[in-house]
Amino acid sequence: MFNSLFGNSGLKEKIKKLEAQLQEATAEASFWKERYNQYKDEQENLDTIKTIKDKEQIIADLEAENAELTNAAKYWKDESDYWQRNHNTIRDAYIKENHHMSYDVRLIDHTTHKVLEAENPHFMQGGTFCPGGTKELWLNITYNYAAVLCKVLQRDVIDQDTGKRTTLVGLDAINGLYAAETISMLRKAINSRSDEGANESYWHPTEGNVKKALIQLKALADMRPDGVWEVI
């Protein structure tokens, strides 16, 4: 029976056909498995390449940032070195250019060198002033008036050792003197000026504006003739 069963040619053909299909399916499975592994390797390679490129970009960005910071650090170091080397020169040049913005003129005690005060506040106004008034015998005068003041205030000084004569002009002419010594000088300067431009802006060096400043200085001198002029 078994012999007759296995000897059946139709059954053998079916088995061969199934075996062929199995081999074909196995080969197909092996092919796709190989393709899958290949794809997987390629994908991993792509990921690796992408990661490398990302890292290269990050490195490039960091290097660029580092270069920028290095240049900035060098710039500020150079600036710092420059200011350290030239500090005194720059400071002196600045002082030379700007120290004549205005004059602070005040009467001080000849012993204590403290600024003298009036019994009541005065309201004299200059380049800067106290809106509520001040008891200090002090007046600020803009440097814009310097040229005119140099014409009307002059004092000759003779060096006791050399006999050399020097002429002090402007507010330097009253600096260091007792107020009483300058009243006649200030009066003469006031009388030499007109009232022209007295209503113009304070900063304009008109005859009238300079005259008002001189009048205020004389008023301070009249208050405390025992005071000593200090011009800063």
Do 152 and 120 belong together in one domain?
yes
Do 121 and 199 belong together in one domain?
yes
Query: Which of 97, 123, 142 delimits the end of a domain?
Result: 97
Residue 150: CB atoms within 10 A of its CB come to 16
Q: 164-200 pLDDT, tens per residue?
A: 888 899 999 999 999 999 999 999 999 999 999 988 9
Number of domains in the chain: 2
Do 91 and 122 belong together in one domain?
no
Do 124 and 214 belong together in one domain?
yes
Do 22 and 89 belong together in one domain?
yes
Check: CB of residue 153 under 8 Å from CB of residue 185. Answer: yes
Q: Report the C-alpha gap between 38 and 33 in whole angstroms.
A: 8
Q: Please determine, for residue 222, whether its predicted confidence score (pLDDT) is greater than 90.
A: yes
Do 118 and 86 belong together in one domain?
no
**pLDDT bracket for residue 105 (50, 70, 90):** very high
pLDDT above 90 as % of the chain: 43
Q: Please determine, for residue 115, whether its predicted confidence score (pLDDT) is greater than 70.
A: yes
Write phi, then psi, for 119 (nearest 5 degrees).
Answer: -70, -35
* Residue carrying the six token digits 């498995």: 33
Beta partners for residue 49, in sequence order: none
In the prediction, which pLDDT does 37 show?
67
Query: Which of 47, 65, 97 delimits the end of a domain?
Result: 97
**pLDDT bracket for residue 225 (50, 70, 90):** very high
Do 41 and 122 belong together in one domain?
no
Do 62 and 143 belong together in one domain?
no
In the prediction, which pLDDT does 145 show?
92
Do 106 and 207 belong together in one domain?
yes
Report the mean per-residue pLDDT for the chain: 80
Domain that holds residue 6: 2-97
Query: Which of 54, 78, 97 delimits the end of a domain?
Result: 97
**pLDDT bracket for residue 98 (50, 70, 90):** very low
**Torsion 133-135-137-138 (CA) sign:** negative
Check: CB of residue 103 under 8 Å from CB of residue 141. Answer: yes
Average pLDDT over residues 37-63: 67
Do 55 and 146 belong together in one domain?
no
Higher pLDDT, 3 or 46: 46
- List, in sequence order, every beta strand (DSSP E) within the chain: 102-108, 117-122, 134-136, 138-142, 154-158, 165-169, 228-231
Do 204 and 188 belong together in one domain?
yes
Question: Residue 85: which residues within 8 A CB-CB, separation 6 or more?
Answer: none
Do 150 and 166 belong together in one domain?
yes
Check: CB of residue 124 under 8 Å from CB of residue 216. Answer: yes
In the prediction, which pLDDT does 132 show?
86
